[in-house]
Structure 1
Amino acid sequence: CPGSEAFFAACAQEANRTLLACSDEPLAHVLDMIGWGKVAQLLALAAFLALPSVILMMLFGQTRIFFVMARDGLLPFGETLSKVHPKFGTPYIVTLITGSAVTIFAAFFPVGVLADISNSGTLFAFLTVAVGVMVLRRREPNRPRPFRTPLIWLVGPLAFIGCAFLLFSLPLRTQFTFLLWTLVGLLVYFAYGYRKSPLAKPRA
């Protein structure tokens, strides 16, 4: 349709001038340029409203990860960090600590740097999931699975390659920071968490 053609033509024109890369809201910028100002405003509003939900979901996920790690003895002060609120049934201590840490980092560090670091952790998690699914499919083929990834020997390698490509496409500073924090995490695990983990205890 003419609208789509105008949109893609504007994208090509703006990309050639490298304005899209410098714009904080490139899609809304292009829509406004082709005369769709109302649509651009709606898109910007949708992005603004979606951002808090993404942040909340990341906080929910991270606090639950810390909660399970503390409960399994992988973090110092595990008994305290794994406490659940008696009324709301939520891990309130790790929620308060994580929320405070996120607030401090957001206040004193550039958002772009924080986003790159967050992306590196997410991509590495997806990468390890892809590897883990393939390993379990090979080692434990008869394990009950409510959901089986179809075409795993095609999907798994493609997911691994895609995540690895995006991970190594991040700035070198981000990769170095991610590597540093990974080494810190491994140090904490082998110095403390490994001995405390239920998997390290002999089974009766």
Structure 2
Amino acid sequence: MCFFLILGAVECFLLAVMAYDRYVAICNPLHYPLIMNQKACIQMAIGSWISGIPVQIGQTCQIFSLNFCNANKINHFFCDVPPMIKLACGDTSLNEMSVYLVAMVFVAVPFLLILASYSKIISTILKLPTAKGRAKAFTTCSSHLLVVLLFFGSATITYLRPKSSHSAGVDKLLSLFYTIVTPMFNPLIYTLRNKDVIAALRKLLLIK
């Protein structure tokens, strides 16, 4: 659970950093090499990796300090927070509040930063003089935007819903999106914009 939560937090922050990268590339293209230099990229990558570690370790410890007096099997694909809270006996309102607060920090805040970046990006794209330039700029962002919608959409519904409205079937279905579907489609989504990859696929599939 601890590793899963840490990696989930890393994904949220990395998607926000990627949105910022696209904002700089489209809104400040002449300053891009200066702003997104190697040092800045390394710092943002390291920050994304280490920022969630202490909080998620604390949340894991908090979950496993609960009293579990009923069944010891969860109705889920893996050890996630909502199904674990369901198994706990006694008052879990404090733990639910903790989950909401952590989700707000690690899901809602990066998502709002992404929205802010894309609002600036869209505003800049609409001001471009040519339709070809607008299409190229939108294509640059489309793959990242698709991953953001898949990942944040399913994660938000899972972690920001009240406990009473959680359904085991819905939770399991949503968990597939942010644990399997999104990572599985990441290489496909990000590489289909590459002309060399498209040419190789056409050659492989014998499409002229």
Give TM-score scaled by structure 1 length.
0.30
The TM-score with structure 2 as length reference comes to: 0.30
Bigger Cα Rg: 1
Higher relative contact order (CA 8 A, sep 6+): 2
